[in-house]
Amino acid sequence: MTENLLTVANLSAVSDREDGVPVLRDVDLTLRPGEVRGLVGESGAGKSTIAKAILGILPRTVRITGGRIDFKGRDLLVMKPRDLRNIMGSEIALIPQDPQTALNPARRIGFQLADGLRLKRGMSAKIAEARALQLLADVQIRDPDRIMKSYPHQLSGGMRQRVLIAAAFAVDPQLVVADEPTTALDVTVQKEILRLIRRMQEAHGTGVLFVTHDLGIVAQICDSVTLLYAGKVIEEGPVRDVLETPQHNYTKALIAAGPRYDRPDAGLEPVPEAVFRELRQEIGID
Amino acid sequence: MIAVSILNRLIMAAVTLFGVAVIVFVLLRVVPGDPIAMMIAPGASPADIAALRAKYGLDLSLTAQFGVWIEAVLIGDFGTSISLRRDVLELLLSRLPATLELAFAALIVAMLIGGTVAVIGTLFRRTSLEPAIDTTNGVLLAVPDFVWALALVLMLGVFIPVFPLSGRIDPTLSIDFVTPFYLLESLVRFRFDVFFDVAAHIVMPVLALALPLATVITRILKETLLEAMVQDYVLLARLKGMSETRLVLQEALRNAVGPALSLTGVQFTFLVGGTVIVERIFAYPGIGNMAIDAVINRDLPLIQGLVLVFGSIFIVINLAVDLLAAALNPRLCHG
Ligand SMILES: Nc1ncnc2c1ncn2[C@@H]1O[C@H](COP(=O)(O)OP(=O)(O)O)[C@@H](O)[C@H]1O
Ligand SMILES: [Mg+2]
């Protein structure tokens, strides 16, 4: 049994924007080195809150009320800002959701790609540029020379996401947090991007926390999965187990609601109201 | 692409200028007041007056007068000033550089002050400094240029007399300028004694014109900077360990200057308009000051010439602002 790369334990948070409504309820979650864990749940379940808590970029209006986030055995929540700054963007990287807004419209791709290498790896501009060129080739971008000199608006959404994936893996991090990295993309592009993330992850041996609301994506790319509802972990385990022998009625209903992970053409029954009632009762919300 | 749009703008500019010419010409003729009455000696005979009217073409019909004037203007003949009895174009060219130096110095100072305060306000957002900056700026936003001028005269001219109160240069200084751009020329020729004197004369009028614009720039730029600072690309850059100052200057600023820049263009035309009163207050020898005299003396050819010059300045400013905005926005200049 290898040591966990990431251990989230009893993490709780409330929203100060909504009168202290709980956003996370005693969340437990683990990630081993090189593992891809899906973090699934409907919109508002608290997936991004967990991702942001790990990265230390929670909005001011969300307050953590308990628990810990251990990265390589050290609790990120109590770490000195200086140490955090050293880890973030270096050992922990982010692939953001929306490639439209995650690249600076006024700067050339090459410079943006080199930022992390220069700031986190201390590379000179020249070496960082050469490395950036290599990275673009790694994420299967043809004509990387031209892309280096391009501005974001000259690239398609898929291309931009490739650039952002290259930027995330550039510093060779141990943990990549990907917050719905394909939600903003066309379905056809989605598949390529998923394959690319998996390929990069395998090549670098990176642990990935993959946030998505789509069980089908989980089936495609993840090793394990954590299912959230209203900030509470409903079910957790290896993907195969959870999808084939779901324990909770909510999980079962979600799989039935599909699009089914094993038969994308079937499914689409809404989750019955009774299942939600049961869920809310269990969690204790009315 | 760009060439075509510039050509379009130039045609539009010509149309606009023609419109301005028509309006000012008609306005000047329907407003009461007789320029000849201002210049005749007491006891002049009706025949003398008629002769003068004929000399300045004032005996013709309105349309005929306009035709004569426009035709002459097109070949560079702006007529003769009635009150100063000198060629209007010559007068304009001799006075315009002083105003241009004043206006552009004010523009640069306004952008520097406004930009710096906006950046500082952004760096210190959510600290107690932010409301202090916002409130002060909000109050100063309502102060017009001539009030600044009077306040500056009191503070830096009278109570603590650091700057000269009027004029453009100490007349006892010996330098033969080859151009009418005193500030630039003295600098380029390394005549620092002269440069500092000209600069000292221009400080107060520059501040009076610059401060109202600076407050506008601060207001809008700080707002767009704060918007840019919460964008995902800033977040990612912060994760990569970029310093807060670099986040503002390198990541946010270029994306945030657009609105401030176009507003500065609009406001700069007001600033140029403001030179009229501010030059008057500081007895600064530019075209603004001359405009007031021209109006008092009902000097029709001079007023017409001045209006065309002001109109041209406004058009050039707007064109320059659009070009600058295009140059700064990669979306507009790289396909
Ligand atoms: N900026 C915020 N301030 C306060 N509460 C927030 C904020 N953003 C989200 N929340 C709360 O956190 C809950 C979970 O949001 P989020 O983690 O973004 O969900 P998900 O990513 O699963 O869609 C939301 O339902 C909302 O109540
Ligand atoms: Mg989310």
DSSP per-residue codes, B98-112: HHHHHHHHHHHHHHH
Residue ranges covered by each domain of chain A: 33-59+74-91+175-286, 99-172
State if residue A25 touches ligand 1 by the CB under 6 angstroms criterion: no
Of B232, B250, B329, the CB nearest to A101: B232
Q: Tokens standing for A27?
A: 């969340």
- Which residues of B are less than 8 Å from A120 in CB distance? 240-241
CA distance A119 to A102: 18
> How many other C-beta atoms lie within 10 A of the C-beta of residue A33?
15
Percent of chain B with pLDDT over 70: 97
Partners of A68 in beta bridges = A9
pLDDT for B14 beyond 90: no
DSSP string across A242-271? HHHS--SHHHHHHHHHSS-SS-TTS--PPP
pLDDT band for position B281 (cuts 50, 70, 90)? very high
Determine the angle formed by the axes of helices B300-328 and B287-296, rounding to 10 degrees.
150
Residue A180 CA: nearest ligand 1 atom is 21
pLDDT for B335 beyond 70: no
Q: Tokens standing for A177?
A: 């947090």
HEC-encoded secondary structure of A70-82: EECCEEHHHCCHH
For ion ligand 2, residues whose CB falls within 5 Å: A 48
Closest Cα in chain B to A90: B240
Strand order in A74-75's β-sheet?
A: A21-31, A6-15, A62-71, A74-75
CA distance A129 to B115: 32
Q: Output the CA–CA distances (angstroms, integers) from residue A105 to A91, A136, B156, in the order listed.
A: 26, 18, 45
Task: Give the distance from residue A202's alpha carbon to the nearest chain B alpha carbon, in angstroms.
Answer: 23
For the stretch B50-67, pLDDT in tens is 888 888 777 888 888 888
pLDDT band for position B323 (cuts 50, 70, 90)? confident
What are chain B's domains?
A: 89-308 (1.10.3720.10)
pLDDT confidence of residue A268: 63
Residue A17 CA: nearest ligand 1 atom is 4
For testing contact with chain A, the best of B126, B239, B255, B334 (most A CBs within 10 A): B239
> How many other C-beta atoms lie within 10 A of the C-beta of residue B174?
7
Task: Give the distance from residue A172's alpha carbon to the nearest chain B alpha carbon, in angstroms.
Answer: 13
Q: Tokens standing for A5?
A: 């790369």
Q: Tokens standing for B174?
A: 């010996």
> For a substitution probing ligand 1, which of A8, A14, A15, A52 has the most ligand atoms within 8 Å of its CB?
A15
Closest Cα in chain B to A115: B240
Residue A50 CA: nearest ligand 1 atom is 17
Which residue's CA is minimally distant from atom 10 of ligand 1?
A15
pLDDT confidence of residue A174: 97
CA distance A75 to B137: 43
pLDDT band for position B330 (cuts 50, 70, 90)? low
> How many other C-beta atoms lie within 10 A of the C-beta of residue B72?
14
CA distance B248 to A107: 14
CA of A208 to the centre of ligand 1 (A): 21
pTM above 0.80, yes or no: yes
* Nearest to B247, CA basis, from B258, B260, B231: B231
For the stretch B186-228, pLDDT in tens is 999 999 999 999 999 999 999 999 999 999 999 999 999 999 9
Task: Give the distance from residue B121's alpha carbon to the nearest chain A alpha carbon, in angstroms.
Answer: 19
Residue A211 CA: nearest ligand 1 atom is 21
Task: Give the distance from residue A227's alpha carbon to the nearest chain B alpha carbon, in angstroms.
Answer: 26
Of A102, A116, A119, the CB nearest to B233: A102
For the stretch B297-313, pLDDT in tens is 989 889 999 999 998 88
For testing contact with chain A, the best of B225, B240, B247, B334 (most A CBs within 10 A): B240
pLDDT band for position B258 (cuts 50, 70, 90)? confident
Inspect the interface and report whether the beta carbons of B331 and A102 lie closer than 8 Å: no
Task: Name the 3-class secondary structure at A107.
Answer: coil
Q: Tokens standing for A108?
A: 């050339």
Inspect the interface and report whether the beta carbons of B241 and A89 lie closer than 8 Å: yes
For testing contact with chain B, the best of A54, A98, A115, A183 (most B CBs within 10 A): A115
Q: Domain spanning A33-59+74-91+175-286 has what CATH number?
A: 3.40.50.300
Q: Do residues B211 and B109 lie in contact, with contact meaning Cβ atoms separated by under 8 Å?
A: no
pLDDT by residue, tens only, chain A of 286 residues = 558 999 999 999 999 988 889 999 999 999 999 999 999 999 999 999 999 999 999 999 999 999 999 999 999 999 999 999 999 999 999 999 899 899 999 999 999 999 999 999 999 999 999 999 999 999 999 999 999 999 999 999 999 999 999 999 999 999 999 999 998 888 889 999 999 999 999 999 999 999 999 999 999 999 999 999 999 999 999 999 999 999 999 999 998 887 654 454 555 677 888 889 989 988 888 6
Of B237, B242, B255, the CB nearest to A106: B255
CA distance B93 to B91: 6
State if residue A59 touches ligand 1 by the CB under 6 angstroms criterion: yes
CA distance B289 to B306: 11
**Residue scoring higher pLDDT (B99 or B14):** B99
Q: Is the ipTM of this complex over 0.90?
A: no
